[in-house]
Amino acid sequence: MSRTGPIGRPRPSALHPSAEVWLSLFRAKQLHRHSRARRNPEFSVFPASRLLPAFCILFLSVSIFTIAFAQDLMPIRVGQSSITDVQVASIVTQQAGIFRKYGLTAELILLQGGPQTVQALISGSLHFVDVAGPALISSQLAGADVVPLLYQITGLTHSLFVKPDIQAAKDLKGKKVGVVRIGGLAEYIARYMLTEKLGLKPAEVQLIQVGGQAERVAALESGAIHATVFSPPQSTRVKKLGFKELADASELEYPTGVIGTTRQIFTARPELVERVMKSYLEGIAYFWLHKDKTVPMLQRQFRLSERLEAEEMYDKLAKVVPKRPRPPYKGIKMVLESLKDRNPRAATMDAATFVDSTLVKRLEAQGFIDRLYH
């Protein structure tokens, strides 16, 4: 019987598309067996009437199992304050399919800035956040019931870039260094690299407020400033413009990135929190063990035109992503110091207040982290 409908169009099939594919393969196999039987009368053909029901049972079983598995995945919403190198753990864990391995289907939701992202967490719109550490610390300091689960980036990927005619630190004496804004993290990082890494005295350089990345690149190109601070992926791009990297801040401990949740979720849903923690810890292990696969992920995520740019980003991150979680106590103290003018409580708070290592220590004791690397 013809399988065409009106005007020669294929008649709609009652079978699932996957079943159609398998049925086509089955028919082709049967034709092949009939052909062999004609050439060799001793060759027997297994009757389709007996094989087809078995095939249908197998297909239905696989379909039911697949649907049941998909339904069993627990959906979670993870807020991200930006899409920068700070979010590398979420990027790798998601793209490598590790959330699904632990029975989760994660929706990564981009919001504008750390305070807004943490506020969405507190309101119940999110289950977890992947934000810069100061956003969670300042919210906790203000009384928000949030829990920092994992400081996944404990250093800075920023570097000091200079104009091509600057050959050494001494050439910066009397010159202008541009930062995003005076009083911000970028100013602190710039001063650290200029004084601690390059040995200059604070009075020997002038720090001025310039603005965002585009403004600082333009200021460098015009000669309005002679140096500024960039982090990936912008740092890999400014190299192509001819600017030189004179120093980096990777040795400076800082709570750059943290995974957090609310105390309510942490207490009421411990199994969920453990699944999420295991996912991120394995995502970090994947970052370390599979550079060949992580680099293309970074290249796609940040739309880098060359693989070399993604490799440079990976190498920067490798300096500040610890294999084993360790709280950046010194960096937390630095954040508290910067917040004390706005909130006097910051001057008396212990850095350990902003760390909850309960789950990490339990997983370490169970040997979970060791097994990820062996």
Structure tokens at 358: 């309960």
DSSP of 354-370, one letter per residue?
G---HHHHHHHHTTHHH
- State the Cα angle at 33 between 27 and 38, rounded to 5°: 125
pTM: 0.76
**All CATH 3.40.190.10 domain ranges in the chain, comma separated:** 75-156+254-372, 159-248
pLDDT over 50 at 5, yes or no: no
| Percent residues over pLDDT 70 in the chain | 81
Measured over the CA atoms of residue 249, residue 251, residue 256 and residue 259, the dihedral's sign is positive
| Percent residues over pLDDT 90 in the chain | 68
Average pLDDT, rounded, for the chain: 85
Query: Per-residue pLDDT tens for 93-131?
Result: 999 999 999 999 999 999 988 899 999 999 999 999 999
pLDDT over 50 at 72, yes or no: yes
Alpha helices, DSSP H, located in 17-163: 17-39, 48-72, 88-95, 98-101, 114-123, 133-141
Distance CA 87, CA 256 (A): 10
Structure tokens at 205: 């350089």
* H or E element that contains 257: strand 257-262
The CATH class, in words, for 159-248 is alpha beta
Amino acid letter for position 114: G
Residue with the two structure tokens 């309510």: 264
Residue with the two structure tokens 């399919």: 97
CATH superfamily of 75-156+254-372: Periplasmic binding protein-like II (3.40.190.10)
pLDDT class of 235 with cuts at 50, 70, 90: confident
pLDDT class of 83 with cuts at 50, 70, 90: confident
